[in-house]
Structure 1
């Protein structure tokens, strides 16, 4: 069942997306409701798994300055096997099934070009993967976690 977000839910999520450390008191002032209402809505958003509270690492601040998007073709009937093997490669932070010529796409963020090469060697060891197309990210202009506008 899909949970229908109302204007207050949208407001809470939007404000937390901007500043995950904003207090319930500040949210209540900003959204013109009681702090108790904010607490209850926040708990509901967590309980319904609409909102996850995590710390987001700034990759550049921790020395991860190289990124790549890697597209892959896989053997027939081996898509799930390839996905499970890709999940075991720590620098891979995003895996998605896509339409088109390359049904798998992953994204990595690593220290340098050498680490990108290491990931490519690890992918090459996956028997289900038959072809790879690597796109090196030269400059990232937007990387957001805001899904509610």
Structure 2
């Protein structure tokens, strides 16, 4: 799923923020249980969650461990671009093995996270796919050796 942020996001009200906070704590929590906490009906919570997902303010996903699913290699790839960055970011984001793409300021124009089955698969994607994209001037690969922290519950402001 491609995520594009609106440069002028609509501010969320306190009730929507409370619903998000409840789902960050437990993404399987029922609409009825959330409704009790935020003092809304189950139907009203369902409607708000649907709207939050539709507007891109929130995603509801299952976070998995790539190693347990047969993906032995994860890496972050820094990409430098010649010319317009957005078309390259879109092309990188379209690759099945890429699960995260961000346009950055600094040494790299784009950072992309790859989840691959093996080192050979990683090499194939970097050399055969990413470097073949028109506008890619160079890449640097950062192999993941161990995951120490991964969280998606940073709260709401």
TM band (smaller chain): 0.7 to 0.9
Match for residue 99 of structure 1 among 80, 94, 105:
105
1:134 aligns with 2:141: yes
The gaps in structure 2 that reach 5 residues or longer are: 1-7
TM-score, normalised on structure 2? 0.76
Larger Rg belongs to: 1
**Aligned partners of 1:130, 1:46: CA distance in 2, in Å?**
35
1:80 aligns with 2:86: yes
1:120 aligns with 2:126: yes
- Give the deviation of 1:78 after TM superposition: 4.2
Match for residue 6 of structure 1 among 2, 9, 13:
13
**Aligned partners of 1:21, 1:104: CA distance in 2, in Å?**
33
Q: 1:106-147: CA deviations, max 9, x gaps?
A: 111122222211112122323422221111111112223335
**Aligned partners of 2:104, 2:49: CA distance in 1, in Å?**
33
- Greater RCO between the two (CA within 8 Å, min separation 6)? 1
- Give the deviation of 1:100 after TM superposition: 1.6
Moved over 4 A (4+): none
